[in-house]
Each structure stands twice: as C-alpha cells, then as structure tokens.
Amino acid sequence: MAPPKDLLSISDIADRLPSLLEEAELLKQTRRTGPKLASLSGQNFAMIFEKASTRTRTSFEVGIHDLGGQAIYLSKSDIQLGRGETIGDTARVLSRYCDGIIYRAFRHADMVELARTASVPVINALDDLEHPCQIVADLLTMKERWPTGFHGKRLAWIGDGNNVLHSLLLGAAAVGLDLTVATPPAYAANPAIVSAAETLAARSGSHLRFLQEPSEAAEGADALYTDVWVSMGEEAETAARTRAFAGYQINAALLRTAASAAFVLHDLPAHRGQEITDEVLDGPQSAAWDQAENRLHAQKAIMMRLFPHAPSV
Ligand code: CP
Ligand code: NVA
C-alpha cells in the first residue's frame, strides 16, 4: 500500500508504526558507522514554523542533512504568510520549489489547509491538536527499554489533555500499549481523539483509562509521562492553568508509587518545578534526553517513507 501523502495525525501511520520503529532503530545504530545515506539527495524541504522550537527544528534540519537533502527554515514572521498571504497561496508556491513541507502551526485547521493545497507531502511538526513526530520518537524510546514489546506495559499520563496526549493516545492504541490518563476535569482530552483512539485500541487490545487522580494513574505504572501545563498559544490562561494543575506534578513521591523499574518521559521543554521536579528530570529514571535524541532517528525514518526518492538523472 502506498504511504499517505501527508503526516498530519499519528493515525495516518497507525499501521506503519512497527516497521517505522524498526527503521528508526536501524538508523540510530548505524548513524555514525554506516554508509552515508542519500535518500533525500537533491530534495529541498520548506520548514514553516509559526512557533518556537529547539528539538523539532534542529532534529529535522540535521535529519534532512544526514539523508542528503536541504532544509529551508521559514519563520512565519519572515515570509509573506505573516503579512496575510494565504496558506493556500503559500502552499502552491512552495510546492513549485520544494519536495515536502514541514509545518509547525497554531491551528490544526491551518495544517489541514496547507496539506490540502500543497501538491507535496506535509508533515505536522506540532499544532494545537497533535504532535505526531514526537510520539514516534517516544514509542522508540519505550521500545528500547521494553525488549518484550508494548503489550502488557502500562504508561500513565499526568497532566494536560493536550496535543502531545492526543498523539500519544492514538499511538499507544495503535501499538497495543495500555495508557492511563489523569487530567483535571476541565482539561480532559478531545472527545473525537478519544473516540478514534478507542477504535484503534479495540483492534490492538490496548486498554485506555481516563481518571482525574494522578496517584491512581501512576500506581504500578511501567512509565510516567508529563508535559507542560501551558502549551504555546495558551499563555493567557497561565494563572488558571497553574491553579488547576497544582497537584499534577511528577515528583519523587509520585514516582515511588510506580513500578520499581519505571522510567519518566517528558517531551520537553520542561517547566522545572511545575509539571516535573529537577530531581526526577535529572534523575536515573529520566528518559527525557533519549526521547529528545530519538526525534532525529524517528523523523529520518518518517521522511524516508513519506518523501518519494529523488528521480535519478
Ligand atoms: N518537544 C518538542 O517538540 O520540542 P521543541 O518545541 O523544542 O521543538
Ligand atoms: N504541549 C506543548 C508541547 C511542546 C513541544 C506545546 O504545544 O507547547
């Protein structure tokens, strides 16, 4: 089956996750020792970013370079999109120069519009609904630590029902990982995403549970995951969110209630002292730095699958 044109949601690649993870593992093992790869040789990629980024921008740029292609970083404020040129016109023009577009957007509707109007593949580098590339890297991080696979393992999410949780719900449900979610009642996951995840879970045998109490979710879990309380674009809600999430911190006491071999995931950037303590993030059970590295390997695997090879001359 041909790959989907775009990667807007992790559900677009739900059936391909096992093979993508294998490919990413191989790319990781051979990055320094294997032959120079040229999968994206002669190809150019526009990277439109409406928001800040450390990991996503750098790992895509380095990954494209590793595969022999060229990345062109386009901050929204530097291109005409920031002065009112439409998304559709931007997509049509960039499709004439480039072989793919990587887009970090405020609004998922804009992501969908860009993909609809671009004739080249579009990869979602985070929007307000999903962060699919992050979760491919996170699944790789978990796979490395669980040699027997995802089945029978339980991950607990502590915090906001946000973009990262949405992709995690779909990704966990696709690969058969059990996920228990603890969110404050007013910050639960999007019901449409929950319903799509439950459909995937029914196929894979994954169990999804939705709670409010962090200690209940963390108890006996094989891994804990959290993210910021205030995502990019939500800064006006900072005061209300800081109050609502006050009990939703991964700290040493919460971690002690998880399985003894449990590890802790955080997609970063972290707000140290809020959703996670220094002690946990810098401690021996933190997997956050491997997660950050795995963005590179995961995205290279994604690009090798999604972007057609350059025509030979
Ligand atoms: N995790 C992540 O996407 O980080 P950046 O915002 O730094 O890209
Ligand atoms: N939920 C966070 C993730 C950052 C990588 C945000 O959207 O800001």
3-state secondary structure of 15: helix
> Is 162 touching ligand 2 by the criterion CB < 6 Å?
yes
Residue the block writes with tokens 């894979």 = 204
- Residue owning the nearest CA to atom 8 of ligand 2: 231
Which residues surround ligand 1 with Cβ inside 6 Å?
53-56, 126, 134, 267-269
Separation CA 149–CA 134 (nearest Å): 19
* 212 close to 188: Cβ distance less than 8 angstroms: no
CATH number of 10-130+295-306: 3.40.50.1370
Low-confidence ranges of the chain (pLDDT < 50): 310-313
How much is the pLDDT for 187?
A: 98
* 265 close to 288: Cβ distance less than 8 angstroms: yes
CB atoms within 10 A of CB 266: 26
Q: Where in the chain is the domain with CATH 3.40.50.1370?
A: 10-130+295-306, 134-292
Residue the block writes with tokens 């790992």 = 59
The atom number, within ligand 1, closest to the CA of 52 reads 6
- Cβ-in-10-Å burial (0-12, 13-18, 19+) of 163 comes to buried
3-state secondary structure of 226: strand
pLDDT tens by residue, 54-110: 999 999 999 999 999 999 999 999 999 999 999 999 999 999 999 999 999 999 999
DSSP state letter for 10: G
- Residue owning the nearest CA to atom 3 of ligand 2: 231
How much is the pLDDT for 308?
A: 66
> Is 164 touching ligand 2 by the criterion CB < 6 Å?
yes
How much is the pLDDT for 309?
A: 57
Angle between helix axes 132-145 and 163-175 (nearest 10 degrees) is 50
* 96 close to 44: Cβ distance less than 8 angstroms: no
> Is 46 touching ligand 2 by the criterion CB < 6 Å?
no
Of all ligands present, the nearest one to the C-alpha of 228 is: 2
Q: How many CA atoms lie within 13 A of 181 on its CB side?
A: 27
The atom number, within ligand 2, closest to the CA of 233 reads 8
Pocket test for ligand 1, best of 55, 135, 225 (most atoms within 8 A of CB): 55
The atom number, within ligand 1, closest to the CA of 54 reads 7
How much is the pLDDT for 3?
A: 81
Q: Which architecture, in CATH terms, is 134-292?
A: 3-Layer(aba) Sandwich (3.40)
The atom number, within ligand 2, closest to the CA of 53 reads 5
Q: Is the pTM of this model over 0.95?
A: yes
